[in-house]
Structure 1
Amino acid sequence: MTIQIPRGTQDILPGQVEAWQWIEEKTRDICQKYQYKEIRTPIFEQTELFQRGVGESTDIVQKEMYTFKDRGDRSLTLRPEGTAPVVRSFVENKLYGQPNQPVKLYYVGPMFRYERPQAGRYRQFVQFGVEALGSQDPAIDAEVIALAMEVYKSLGLKRLKVVINSLGDPTSRKAHREALIQHFKPKINEFCLDCQNRLERNPLRILDCKKDRDHELIKNAPSILTFLNEESTQYFEKVKDYLQLLQIDFEVDATLVRGLDYYNHTAFEIMSEAEGFGAITTLCGGGRYNGLVEQFGGPSAPGIGFALSMERLLAAMKAEGIELPINEHLDCYIVALGEEAKDYSVALLQQLRQAGFSAERDYISRKLKAQFKAAERMQAAYTAILGEDELKAGTITVKKMENGEQTVLSLNNFIEAFTELCK
């Protein structure tokens, strides 16, 4: 019986993984500039964390979580998103007591959702995300959006669109909620069962429905922007002002609500407008979540963050024809002929590596020509040729693969001479 990879997952193979590593390193460099520090949370958490944090009425909690009982009969869930675990850690480890505030964190890691697999969307996927906790300043909303845009632009993406909205404070949301209920209630039986269940619990989720998104009532639903109180309006205007100061173009979309219950005030998405990218254009989404820290037992500490899919980022780069400057070079490939030379090359190979060089040799008894072919495939800068004659003479012949130029070096000081040659 052949065992195959689970549906909705992928193997990231050598030749592919280098792109992931390069992008991850780029995101870490950008986070360092913005003073965001890495945090690593468990891959599984108590199920209640996501039920309370993400929201009982969301598709994630209702349909998409991988939940199981452990041997102690505790309900655990593979994390479907990164914000709730980070906030849980922020509270549990009392990061709100640190002298440097706000606390600015980032994460990179796998998430799990039981969704229908499609291009760029998997059941196990990798997210890069940031969270800034402890500031109510609208300038940090703009900073978070700017950081996300810098990630994309630093990787060469140009066909980008930023869409923003305000979900308002609790007072504004309550007024909007009542208006939505009155708007949808007369014809709620025309909507899917999920939307019917959401009407009283969280009517805002109806606007995010994938099945009924073309329904006329969704298209002309009351806009949250008309229900913003003065405080929420001023906050949103300030965020827009800061984005303009940062020269970030954006569009306001009153239907943008995001898929998680914890959002309030600023919500945003970054989309790809690249030709051929696909029907689902969202690359990144995030927003403000004031109140979530208190919900997990912490003090008043407003927060904002975003998460982006690494898979969709790679797909967008492919759609724009972007190739990363990944150098998979090999400094030296040792070509050994004869048993004595093969034995000698084992220690020589290790000496090269300990001196800081990327080095390799043959391990499957190839002939001379095949060893040179292997060196070419591995893009070796040099080959070091060692046979019985070279061993007797105490020398080794080094060939520069770019132009075929050969140099004879002494085995006694090979590492020093090779280092000089490489300069």
Structure 2
Amino acid sequence: MDGGVSHVDSFDPKPALDKHHGKPASGLTNPTANKNRKWIRSPWTFHRRGECGMPISDLFPHISTVADELAVIRSMKADLPLHSTGVLLLHTGSNNAGRPSMGAWGHYGLGSDNRNLPGFVVLSHGVVPCGGLENYSNGFLPARHQATMFAVDGPPVRNLLPADKNAQVQLSKLALLKGRDRAFSQSLGGDDAIDSAIRNYELAFRMQSMIPELLDLSEETRATQSAYAVDSKVKSQSLFGIQCLRARRLVESGVRFVEITCAPGNANGTWDQHSNLKKGHEKNSLDTDQSITALIKDLKSRGMLDETLVVWAGEFGRTPHATGNDGRDHHPEGFTIWMAGGGVKGGTVFGETDEFGMHAVENVTTLHDMHATMLHLVGLDHEKLVFRFGGRDMSLTDVHGRVVHEVLA
């Protein structure tokens, strides 16, 4: 959810904002603060949802129906109010480029369940997020652990199906290319980039037999497609629904790590509403709310949710105050993410921000903690999943992070 979903308008209700709406916001220390800022109440109403009674606003009417599956962490804290560094931190555990993404670490630790498919897939809407492709990079891990990008609008993988459909001819060409590449690699004393390119050629050849059928949704029932909003007349909603349904099919077929990116919209991943918050957030919710909920319900109905971890997260939240332009600004000091399935304790709310939603004050949780918890839930120890680089053992969480056991089942 790149761009910054407003926590005080979604999963973290703040009655104090109703009480002090329009009054000057005093005592602000964040970089966006100025004397003209005022507290702004949420334009949405919160209701208690599910048997657990979890407060969720009307912004997410569909996700509200699966409240009992969610473990909501309200006390998230990031480092900087900048999209580029924030998105990098979310993906790689570092504000700086050059580190492996969490998907690359997952692939490094778990491998792949299907040799004919990549182990780390990004279902992309065609817009590179802030921070660039470094968000999906292998960093200093072997190049084979980088993400494979599948487009949602148009051919999922370009040039996957060659004009020459003769498999034997393709194998002969592949053998020739592999031989020359191996000779080149050996002349350099071995080269990871070349060796990974060879593996990519081999994987692409094997993918030809699976990808077209796997990503073709025509064999899904009309009811399933409708549940995911694949048949929506709103293109951005339909495209996001396609991503979610393809994600289920990929996981079902053995892909270990799948990332779904928001459909194209406003700047920085659609949720970056410095103005027109209500209009923008409602448009973004329309695009994503139904399909995400359908994914959770579909995984559960197929008996897959307990072994599939779903993480809903962005790089930061949004300020509880504004300058009167009907928008909210970047806010890393306190925000919300949630997890579902994969061994989390559904119907749980963990951590708190202060009465206005300004600062995480109880059970403060960092993105390093989130990464440690994600790795734990898929059977990996964040302190032991290491790779020797630059003279020391490197990890996704570096010297930080703790598993948030309070949200585990």
TM-score interval w.r.t. the shorter chain?
under 0.3
- Mark the structure with the bigger radius of gyration: 1
* Structure that is richer in helix per residue: 1
* Structure that is richer in strand per residue: 1
TM-score by length of 2: 0.24
**More contact order relative to length (CA 8 Å, sep ≥ 6):** 2
